[in-house]
């Protein structure tokens, strides 16, 4: 069993609805020999300085997030892709501590497989930005405004994807248009969505 990291203890000592579940997940993962660190405000478990799995919680569930979950075999069909745009990570979700106790052996098997994926140096083949569908409203703006197109093309692929996802989310065209309008200055200044 790996050691608990005191820097992470505050996460587990919080009075949240998932406190029992977090403690059980922590023990299972530490039993697998990973190093416990605090990243993004969550317990993150690494192997040879590479992220393997993270514990996090939401309103309806808590979860283990496998960074390269798309490469795991998932014989139990329990890995979940959070959204259609998530390419690599996959979650296993829980709503109570009993589920975790019942699945301990399975969870350890997934963690060990994730370690082997890392050992083997496997990488998730990520889609290129050009493979994502640009919302029609934004494409029209790019076609009409060469300055905007140049500025957008100059952004890093990650920043481009963030804008494409952000503009694609609303169901109504009016809302997509509004988001595009509000983001134009940011794009023209070479900034990402959250810069």
User: pLDDT tens-digit profile of 84-142?
Assistant: 777 889 999 999 999 999 999 999 999 999 999 999 999 988 777 777 788 999 999 99
Compute CA distances 117 → 50, 83, 95, 188, 193, whole Å.
Answer: 11, 23, 27, 40, 32
User: What average pLDDT does the segment 44-73 reach?
Assistant: 96
Residue 41 has pLDDT above 80, yes or no: yes
In angstroms, rounded to a whole number, what is the distance separating the alpha carbons of residues 52 and 109?
A: 13
> Residue 71 is encoded by which pair of tokens?
């490469």
- pTM for the structure as a whole: 0.73
pLDDT of residue 82: 86
Question: In which residue ranges of the chain is CATH 3.90.1150.200 found?
Answer: 6-119
Q: For a pLDDT cut of 90, what percent of the chain falls above it?
A: 76
Largest separation between any pair of C-alpha atoms in the chain: 60
May I ask the CATH architecture of the domain 6-119?
A: Alpha-Beta Complex (3.90)
Compute CA distances 91 → 16, 154, 157, 172, whole Å.
Answer: 20, 33, 25, 29
């Amino acid at each position: 069993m790996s050691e608990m990291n005191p820097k992470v203890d505050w996460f587990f000592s919080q009075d949240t609805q998932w406190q029992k579940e977090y403690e059980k997940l922590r023990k299972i993962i530490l039993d697998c020999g990973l190093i416990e660190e605090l990243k993004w405000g969550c317990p993150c478990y690494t192997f040879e300085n590479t992220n393997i799995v993270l514990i996090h919680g939401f309103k309806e569930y808590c979860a283990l997030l496998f960074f390269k979950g798309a490469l795991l075999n998932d014989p139990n069909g329990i890995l979940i892709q959070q959204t259609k745009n998530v390419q690599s990570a996959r979650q296993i979700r829980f709503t109570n501590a009993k589920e975790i106790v019942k699945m301990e052996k399975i969870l350890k098997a997934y963690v060990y497989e994730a370690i082997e994926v890392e050992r083997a140096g496997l990488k998730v083949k990520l889609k290129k930005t050009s493979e994502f569908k640009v919302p029609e409203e934004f494409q029209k703006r790019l076609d009409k405004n060469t300055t905007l197109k140049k500025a957008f093309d100059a952004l890093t692929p990650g920043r481009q994807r963030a804008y494409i996802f952000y503009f694609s989310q609303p169901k109504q065209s009016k809302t997509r248009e509004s988001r595009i309008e509000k983001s134009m200055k940011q794009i023209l200044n070479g900034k990402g969505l959250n810069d």
